[in-house]
Amino acid sequence: MFTTVYRRLDALTRIVLLGTLLAVPGYGQGQPQTATLSQVNGQLLTPAATADTDFGRAPLVLTLQDALTRAKANDPQFRAALTELGVAHQDTVQSRAQLLPNVTYNMQFLYTQGNGSLSGRYIANNGLHEYIAQGNVHQALSPGMLAEYRRVEMTEALARAKSEIATRGLVVTVVQAYYGYVVAQRKYATAQKAASEAGRFLDISHKLQNGGEVARSDVIKAQIQSQQQQRELQDALLEMNKSRLDLAVLLFPNFEENFSVVDDLRSPDPLPSLVEVQTAATRNNPELRVALASLRQTDQEKRVAWTAMLPSLGLDYFYGIDANQFAVRDRSGLKNLGYAASATLQLPIWNWGAGYSKVKQADLRRQQAHVELSFAQRRLLADLRSFYDESETARAQLESLSQTTELASDSLRLTTLRYQAGEGTVLEVVDAQNTLTLARNAYDDGQVRFQVALANLQTLTGSF
């Protein structure tokens, strides 16, 4: 009933009504304007509550694969790489078409001012009236055309390799943003637990003070700890909202904020051996393919420059009418309809050294491409070893981080019991609380570190 009435109110009335309701103590508790973490480890993470979700529009649930699909459709740099590939492919189509005969149809009327003769005043024309209606089959033949076609093919291969680099780079970006949001919500949940634990400990210290078992200083220290945890909770909330906005910019063309993500962080599978990774990198590395394609392209550019100094042949075949009357037969009964052919051979003789200069330019680019290929090979070996070691280290530390979290949780429980029994100090409890928070956050950061390291490794090798 309230929802129906609310929707019928105008915008100003809604603002006033919401301001009145929010001023009521306790109103909206349990429904914060930003996301809260209901469960983790395989469960859905609730997004920020919005007016739309309040009125029944369910949030969009995204997996990592969904995020990758949306990012590919909306990321401008990735789309630019695909556009360059599409343009390069069309250049290949156009260059291939130039190797084939072209057919055109021409219609023309030429009028010459008369002078009392049949030819008229312009001797270049065939009469006072000349009608041309004919088809033309044209074929150009030269070594440079085939070399240019192969050069354009190499350009398309280069664009394809660059698009693969853009694809894998986008995966790294999405993994960082997606799991950054997941971990930000985990840290917010950890901050909530820490704030709750600090509040519970403050209540315990108050009770012990009232019973004369601890000094006032313990209560002050517990209150300071509680206030500190509340500030950290606010910071965690801010960081979670920022990471959600960053992910929204990456995934949605209309800046949608009503979405949730799936927390699928878990214990990772073992990595392939270094030998297997090196084999995959040699076969699937796009950076290496870019360097190779650039070298092949410069090779073809040099061939194109050389072929510009070779002869070229042009063939034309005409069929139709080129007569003083627009008719199949003239007035005397002779046929106007017929055919003609021509062949043109061009021999480059002298161009003031411009052709040889282009050859030198292409050779300089070819030498640079050799240097870049050699560097790409060395860079691949270094990055492969670095990314593999990073992934191995991050994976190995996850088990240790998990055990540390369990130990810190047990330590806090035991330290609190010792404090309640009068055997521990308030500083020990505060230290145990901070240690548990740090351990939980370190474990979450460790999982993101492994996912990002794995994504970086797969930029070199492809998926495995």
Can you give the CATH number for the domain in which 183 is found? Answer: 1.20.1600.10
DSSP percent split of the chain into helix, strand, coil, nearest 5 = 65, 10, 25
Domain boundary among the residues 328, 347, 366 is at 347
- The C-alpha atoms of residue 46 and residue 128 are separated, in whole angstroms, by 87
Are 56 and 180 part of one and the same domain? yes
**Interatomic CA distance for residues 214 and 224, integer angstroms:** 16
Residue 71 belongs to some domain of the structure: yes
- Is residue 122 situated within a structural domain? yes
Domain tally for the chain? Answer: 2
Closest C-alpha among 362, 364, 352 to residue 307: 362
Predicted pLDDT of residue 5: 38
Residue 187 shares a structural domain with residue 51: yes
Residue 301 lies in a domain: no
Does a structural domain hold residue 299? no
**Residue 88 in domain:** no
Cβ atoms within 10 Å, residue 189: 21
Residues 428 and 334 in one domain: no
Q: Write the CA distances from 130 to 59, 104, 335, integer angstroms.
A: 75, 20, 15
Check whether residue 167 and residue 255 sit in a common domain.
yes
**What's the confidence (pLDDT) of residue 432?**
92
From CA 219, how far away is CA 344, in angstroms rounded? 103
Q: 326 and 429 in one domain? A: no
CA distance 226 to 191: 11
Residue 413, both tokens: 């429980």
pLDDT tens string for the chain (464 positions)? 344 434 434 443 343 333 433 333 333 333 333 333 444 444 444 444 333 444 457 888 999 999 999 999 999 999 999 999 999 999 999 999 999 999 999 999 888 887 777 677 776 777 788 889 999 999 998 888 999 999 999 999 999 999 999 999 999 999 999 999 999 999 999 999 999 999 998 998 888 888 888 888 889 998 999 999 999 999 999 999 999 999 999 999 998 888 999 998 888 888 989 899 988 988 888 999 999 999 999 999 999 999 988 999 999 999 999 888 888 888 888 888 999 999 999 999 988 889 899 999 999 999 999 999 999 999 999 999 999 999 999 999 998 999 999 999 999 999 999 988 888 888 999 999 999 999 999 999 999 999 999 999 999 998 86
Q: Is the pTM of this model over 0.85?
A: no
53 and 202 both lie in a single domain: yes
**Angle, helices 143-210/76-98, rounded to nearest 10 degrees:** 170
Question: CA-to-CA distance for 289 and 205, rounded, in angstroms?
Answer: 66
Alpha helices in 211-285 (DSSP H): 216-251, 274-284
Residues 259, 127 share a domain = no
Please give the single-letter amino acid code of residue 126.
Answer: N
Question: Sign (positive/negative) of CA torsion 228, 233, 236, 241?
Answer: negative
Distances (CA, A) of 98 to 91, 139, 322, 428: 11, 9, 28, 82
Residues 67 and 107 in one domain: no
Q: Are residues 251 and 217 in the same domain?
A: yes
Helix (H, G, I), strand (E, B) or coil at 36: coil
Range of the domain at 329: 103-141+313-347
Do 394 and 447 belong to one domain? yes
Is 233 a domain residue? yes
One domain for residues 408 and 329: no
Any domain includes 201: yes
In-domain check, residue 229: yes
Which of 232, 176, 236 is CA-nearest to residue 34?
Answer: 236
Q: Which residue do the tokens 């192969």 mark?
A: 150
Q: Which long-range contacts (CB under 8 A, 24 or more apart) does 264-269 make?
A: 264/42, 264/63, 264/64, 265/41, 265/179, 265/182, 265/183, 265/444, 265/447, 265/448, 265/451, 266/41, 266/42, 267/398, 267/399, 268/395, 268/398, 268/450, 268/454
Our measurement of the distance from residue 139's CA atom to the centroid of its chain's CA atoms, rounded to an integer in Å, reads 44
| 228 and 193 inside one domain | yes
